[in-house]
A and B are shown apart, each in its own frame.
Chain A
Amino acid sequence: MTPETAVVQALNGISFGALLFILAAGLSLVFGMMDVVNLAHGAFYMLGAYIALTIVQRTGQFWLALVLAPLLIGALGLVIEPLLLRRLRGRHLDQVLLTIGVSLVIADLIGLTWGREIRSIPFPAGLDHAITIVGGDYPVYRLFVIAFGAALAVVLAVVHRRTRVGALIRAGVDDAPMLAALGVDIDRLFAITFAVGAALAGLAGVIAAPVFGIYPGMDVDYLIYSLVVVVVGGLGTLSGAVAGSALIGPVDTFGKVLFPQFALALIFAVMALVLLMRPTGLLGRIRIAR
């Protein structure tokens, strides 16, 4: 690998990591802040991609899709949380089964509505060209993705750390009855948090789908990626998703071109290795309560 190629691969790895972060952020939010295992995350991602596909087909407006798809998926999340998930607080196994069910329904309905063809979203005009880096073309969209991922991380961190909402949600996870006693509508808070998590998944669908593609079964594939990122990075913190994607992105990128025989298993091997050394993930904090 020449130095030029290595630089480009590094950019590839970082931008792949950024895509992984955008993909996993919603899952990390819901899991870290609400202690809810949402295995429908991949289905929300898939739905976001298909909605974006329709919007781009009808209007040609990628940016409209970027706003509308997350809103719609967020609305769906706002309905699902109180309707289905509220009574399952703290019951992880039940959440797993329920969200698998939701995922199956959404994926099948997508197939019945949009059909099961292989689709793709073109890169938006303005971001579909290349600029010259180390003497060669590099796609602007990947740089956009890095910037977007970074911005998203900052926004989420600020909301989490600095705002009252963030503090309330953290408190709600630790001690919900206390918060309720203080007059906070914990149910509404959790519903909104779940909706934001869902919206983030939908957002990822718009941003990542032009790179990853749209096909039947994409919900499972990208759910697995999200889970790996969140677990590697560490549950219980938002920065975990950043850490997880920052590690997996470059490792997977370099790993699969340098060691193609292990390409399939690479991210799982990394995950197992990380968990062996740090059982709660890179930045995870040990949960005391059971």
Chain B
Amino acid sequence: MRRFALPAVAVVAAAVLVTFPIWSSPWESSRYATGILRDMLILGILALSLDLLVGSAGMPSLGHAAYFGAGAYAAAIAGQRLGSDDLLLGLGAAILVSAFLALVIGAVAVRAGGIFFLMLTLAFAQMVFAIAFQAADITGGSNGFSGVRRPMLFGLDFNGPDALFHLVAVVFLLVLLLAWRLRSSAYGRALIGLRENERRMRALGYDTTRLKLSAFVLAGAIAGVGGALQAYSIRFVSTNDVGVARSVEAFVSVLIGGASTLVGPVVGAIVVLFIERVMPSYIAFAETVLGLVFIVFVLAARQGIVGLVRASYARVRA
């Protein structure tokens, strides 16, 4: 019986999440809350993809928004250029473009490690930003890309905020599922091996460069999916979406929530977005709070929120 407890809880939680707009509709601000939660899930997808690199493989990337934004632009531009609302087309374009970009950049970046890798990923992300900014004919440049078409799938219209939320929530859960399966797979364990001791992995016969590159591309592709969802959400793509601030947002979400845990990046995304987007309506020093949260977590809760919860749970049980 106990074996089914956890999966059952997970299924129920998933259902609750996906149907949030429906059961929350009596609340006065439910539509707004749906939007905030949707943004949190999108950042959660980005953070989960980044955790593949930062958490599992030990590759700290500070330029991950490049693939997120590339996916957003790809979905938006493909939809407009091909005159199509098809969701699969948009997501497909997003995955293709962001994966390809990650392949090209990764081929160069993964040769480096540690701080050099950090800097290279940042540098390449800034170059992607510059391209998005300059290529105004394609991307809209500094004015952004407006008029992103509403996505449709087999006649189902995802334009309304509720429908869009269902879509984002479902994709989010699929990404979470993927992350969960990866963790227990041989591939996932190989990535962790990379983080623990790369030289030993090589000695064991792994092509570590190939491994790192594959992780980089996979992480980029998932980030691209997140970007496409954001493009559909606000029906706009701006250069902010490939910017440093977005990359740092994802990075700190992973670390705050708990790197290399399953839900850590998501929890971190929720906390970071809450402080960044909801708190400023009520206090003038939200950025200070955010900074203090980072400081406190590094000093007191190294394993992030998830680690903190686990530790206190263990203490309670003991």
Chains A, B in direct contact (C-beta < 8 Å)? yes
- Flag whether A227 is at the interface (Cβ < 8 A): yes
- Flag whether A104 is at the interface (Cβ < 8 A): yes
- Flag whether A132 is at the interface (Cβ < 8 A): no
Binds A, one of B5-13, B119-127, B175-183: B119-127
Distance in Å: Cβ of B54 to nearest Cβ of chain A: 7
Binds A, one of B21-29, B78-86, B230-238, B281-289: B281-289
Distance in Å: Cβ of A29 to nearest Cβ of chain B: 15
Q: How far is it, in angstroms, between the C-alpha of A100 and the C-alpha of B294 when the chains are bound? A: 8
Contact indicator B295/A227 (Cβ below 8 Å): no
Distance in Å: Cβ of B126 to nearest Cβ of chain A: 5
Q: How far is it, in angstroms, between the C-alpha of A88 and the C-alpha of B199 when the chains are bound? A: 24
Assess A227 versus B116: contact at CB under 8 Å? Given A97-B298, A100-B248, A107-B287: no
**Which of A63-112 touch B at CB < 8 Å?**
84, 87-88, 92-94, 96-98, 100-109, 112
**Which of A240-290 touch B at CB < 8 Å?**
261-262, 264-265, 268-269, 271-272, 275-276, 279-280
Nearest CB to that of A265 among chain B residues? B130
Contact indicator A105/B291 (Cβ below 8 Å): yes
Contact indicator B252/A100 (Cβ below 8 Å): yes
Contact indicator A220/B244 (Cβ below 8 Å): yes
Contact indicator B295/A264 (Cβ below 8 Å): no
Contact indicator B112/A98 (Cβ below 8 Å): no
Of the candidates A31, A94, A100, the one whose C-beta lies within 8 Å of that of B302 is A94
Chain A residues near B123 (CB-CB < 8 A): 228, 268, 271-272, 275
- Flag whether B255 is at the interface (Cβ < 8 A): yes
Contact indicator A101/B122 (Cβ below 8 Å): no
Give the dominant DSSP class at A's interface.
Answer: helix
Total number of B residues with any Cβ neighbor in A under 8 Å:
43
- Flag whether B173 is at the interface (Cβ < 8 A): no
Assess A275 versus B120: contact at CB under 8 Å? Given A93-B54, A264-B130, A265-B126: yes
Of the candidates A88, A265, A272, A275, the one whose C-beta lies within 8 Å of that of B131 is A265
Contact indicator A93/B248 (Cβ below 8 Å): no
Assess A103 versus B112: contact at CB under 8 Å? Given A97-B255, A98-B298, A268-B130: no
Chain B residues near A98 (CB-CB < 8 A): 294-295, 298-299
Contact indicator A275/B287 (Cβ below 8 Å): no
Contact indicator B288/A104 (Cβ below 8 Å): yes
Distance in Å: Cβ of B149 to nearest Cβ of chain A: 29
Contact indicator A104/B291 (Cβ below 8 Å): yes
Chain A residues near B288 (CB-CB < 8 A): 104-105, 108-109, 112
- Flag whether B274 is at the interface (Cβ < 8 A): no
For B223-256 the 0/1 string (1 means CB < 8 A from A) is 0000000000000000000001100100110011
Of the candidates A94, A100, A275, the one whose C-beta lies within 8 Å of that of B112 is A275
Distance in Å: Cβ of B116 to nearest Cβ of chain A: 7
Nearest CB to that of A275 among chain B residues? B120
Distance in Å: Cβ of B106 to nearest Cβ of chain A: 13
Other contacts beyond A31-B115, A100-B252, A101-B291: 12, CB < 8 A: A84-B299, A92-B115, A96-B60, A96-B251, A98-B295, A98-B299, A101-B293, A105-B287, A112-B288, A224-B126, A235-B116, A275-B120
A-B contact pairs, 26 of them (CB 8 A): A84-B299, A93-B54, A96-B60, A96-B118, A97-B252, A98-B298, A100-B252, A100-B294, A101-B292, A101-B294, A101-B298, A102-B291, A107-B287, A108-B285, A108-B287, A112-B285, A224-B122, A235-B116, A264-B129, A264-B134, A265-B129, A265-B130, A268-B126, A272-B120, A272-B124, A279-B111
Interface residues of A (CB under 8 A from B): 31, 37, 84, 87-88, 92-94, 96-98, 100-109, 112, 220, 224, 227-228, 231, 235, 261-262, 264-265, 268-269, 271-272, 275-276, 279-280
